[in-house]
Chains A and B, each alone.
Chain A
Amino acid sequence: MPAPFSRRAALRRLGAFAASSPLYQLGGQQRPPGLRERVPALEEIESVLEFEPVARARISRTAYDYVAGGVDGEFTLRRNRQAFEWAELVPRALAPAAAPDLSAEIFGQKLPCPILVAPTAAHSQVHPEGEKATHQGAAAAGVLMAVSSNSSYPIQEVAAAAKGPVWFQLYARDTPEGTRDRVERALAAGCQAVLLTVDTQYMSHRERMLHDRHLNIPAAGVPVRTRSRRQAGAPPAPYRLQPQNPDLSWKTVEAIRAYTNVPFLLKGILTAEDARLAVEHGVSGVVVSNHGGRYLDYAPSTLEALPEIVQAVGGRIPVLIDGGFRRGSDVFKALALGARAVLVGRPPLWGLGAFGPEGVRRVLEVLQAELAMAMAATGCATIAAIDRSAVLVDFA
């Protein structure tokens, strides 16, 4: 007897179909539902990518473009997704893992899964409660949240909004004292680690946002702070550049590390050379990141860069990664290539924009459930059991 037809099953098939279209997978180009299409309800959504068009329908165009966009022609933005197609899982049909255990550990901290919320700025552009709502959703899914220096609410309010663990993403300020003050506030708010972002020397050309500006579309919510270092009266930077952190150096890293008594990571490492230097300078960990394709176009996809960094670090410090992770199997691939944990940037924002804290929670639960399925199929009962033999890789 055929299975009884259910609307739910039909929607699931539709979702699977949409999610398998190449455009859909690359992400970032999501059309909002048209006038005659209905926006799906939260419980109808089965995969992370399905959140994007819903969020797009519910937030302002400028907010959407701000979240979705990459730099220049968005090569790196696309490449981050493409690289997952060059890594394949190796299933174990004879020895699947029945109920895989996703729990992970980092810097002595126990986590229910090796998935974290990446630091992203200005959440109130997509939801009035901003990062407070994101933290609530993440905490409900048991996921650690890294809070941006450019959050819409002060770090102490974000940290206090839920019980879940938080890390702090640091943008160095104009003066060493300013930077130290920012770190101390974060530590006082209970942040358990600090990530210094090192890949934003100059503001990049987000062409979608430049167009929005020229079209005079009003920005909704809190404006994005562009932190130009230009002092009043100073000559403009040459070549029309907009400085952000052009002065960051390994000296800055040493200075911050000296007063930061929680694990201190560098975010934005893409080469073996810099990974080695990071270890030599005593940092606690690195995040392989190209800032979600938002700063240097033609930076490598992070998945492609991961192996050389894992090899250079040689197990001395944990290597984390972000950039384009949208599926549990994506997370699995990075873990197999040696990452300790994976951060997701845009997906929680889609969840937040589409359904508020509940959406954030659901996005993170879907990823965990998919990771569990990948582990089951490959016979990995624990996170530690995921190793290089679990994937076949043929990078370009």
Chain B
Amino acid sequence: MSRLPPLEELVNLFEVEEVARQRLAPELFESIAAGAGAGLTLGRNREAFDRITLRPRVLVDVRAMDLGTQLLGRKLETPILVAPTSRQTLLHPEGELATLRGAAAAKATVVLSSRPGIPLERIAAQARGAFWCQLEPETGAGEFRQLVRRATDAGAQALCLSAGWRGEKPAPPVDWTLVARVREWTPAPLWIKGILAPGEARTAVEKGAQGIIVSNYGGRLVDGAMAAIEALPAVVEAVGRHVPVLIDSGFRRGTDVLKALALGANGVMLGRPPLWGLAAYGAEGVQKVLELIQTELALAMGLCGKPNLAAIDRSLVKIHKR
């Protein structure tokens, strides 16, 4: 095995990926990297960012940089969260515990998978930072209610229902009667993840979702789906200004995050990058990944004349045909 470079030598997320590639057994690394089918959507998620350029404004005082934001009444230090990914103990013995510790050190919220490597209650008992819990579409009301209750009792600040997702296999359709009852069972707001079509975003909101997460699950579910960032503008437009929208799938650079914010997202989630950090370095790797991209975002904002998120709008980006 090649030497493990000291964390301070790593200058971007792709380099953390490279270290993870060298450290992990090939099947394990591939299990993180893989996309569905021929990897078309996997590729598009990245390529789409090359068709969006930034329009920087100058001569704006940007001494006081502030990446803070509010999501459904909760203050976030930065608009970057950790996306739900399952069984993190496969990558590192401390699994989710390390992820939460690293994220807390970087002041980032983690969305815990519905299939963690460590029981939810044990994670919650040791968690110092904020976390949300993911739910999968269930058929039985009893089961669903039970999951909501467990997450709420554990202290989840929000719930995230992954539509279309059941451990990487196509799931049953979302049972809207259950969604409608979630508010009876918990004060935690409910996000619905996995939306690409504006019509579906509208439906989800009508049926009781308080927030929408635009996602193609990192290209792992349906090959040939559009890039998440390409789907974003229409979803934002469909749900209107009062419904918050998050996005994930393919975010690796601070400028990627900035583009999503300019196109109307309220925040961005990272799936694979924290796993690379976790696999190679444990909690400190997760922290490093988050801090690298937070710094890149702050830098890009400063160079664009945007000292805070409120200053970012659609005029900051230009979308190109190629």
Chain A interface (Cβ < 8 Å from any Cβ of B): 72-73, 75, 79, 198-199, 201-202, 204-205, 207, 210-211, 214, 237-241, 243, 246-250, 252-253, 266, 268-271, 273-274, 277, 295-300, 304, 395-396
Contacts and interface: CB of A to CB of B under 8 A. Distances in A.
Interface residues of B, number: 42
Interface string B38-53: 0000000000011111
Contacts of A79: 53
Nearest to A267: B58
B2 to A, nearest CB: 15
Contact of A246 (B62, B297, B318): B62
Contacts of B56: 199, 270-271, 296, 299
Contacts of B90: none
Contacts of A204: 299, 303
B54 interface: yes
Contact of B298 (A239, A249, A298): A239
Nearest to B54: A298
Contact of B53 (A266, A269, A295, A300): A300
B59 A248 contact: yes
Interface in B56-74: 56-63, 65-67
Contact of B58 (A240, A274, A300, A395): A274
B55 interface: yes
A73 B256 CA distance: 12
Given A201-B303, A298-B255, A269 B58 contact: yes
A238 B50 contact: no
25 contacts: A72-B255, A73-B253, A75-B50, A201-B62, A201-B302, A201-B303, A202-B299, A202-B302, A205-B11, A237-B65, A239-B65, A239-B298, A239-B299, A241-B298, A248-B58, A248-B61, A249-B59, A249-B61, A268-B58, A270-B55, A271-B57, A296-B304, A297-B253, A298-B300, A396-B322
Nearest to A208: B11
Given A75-B50, A241-B299, A271 B55 contact: yes
B58 A198 contact: yes
Contacts of B318: 300
Contact of B320 (A201, A210, A248, A396): A396
B253 A241 contact: no
Interface string B284-298: 000000010011111
B184 interface: no
Interface in B294-316: 294-300, 302-305, 315
Contacts of B315: 273
Contact of A296 (B62, B297, B300): B300
Contacts of A199: 56, 58, 303
A297 B49 CA distance: 12
Nearest to B321: A396
B9 interface: yes
B303 A239 contact: no
A139 to B, nearest CB: 32
A94 B322 CA distance: 35
B255 A297 contact: yes
A299 B295 contact: no
A174 to B, nearest CB: 12
B152 interface: no
Contacts of B297: 239
B55 A211 contact: no
B12 interface: yes
Contacts of B60: 249
A279 B304 CA distance: 20
Given A202-B62, A238-B298, 7 more contacts: A199-B303, A207-B11, A241-B295, A249-B60, A271-B55, A296-B300, A299-B54
Contacts of B12: 72-73, 205, 207
Contacts of B8: 214
Contacts of A201: 62, 302-303, 305
A243 B300 contact: no
A239 B59 contact: no
A269 B57 CA distance: 8
B169 to A, nearest CB: 34
B303 A202 contact: yes
A72 B51 CA distance: 17
A55 B274 CA distance: 40
Contacts of B58: 198-199, 248, 266, 268-270, 274
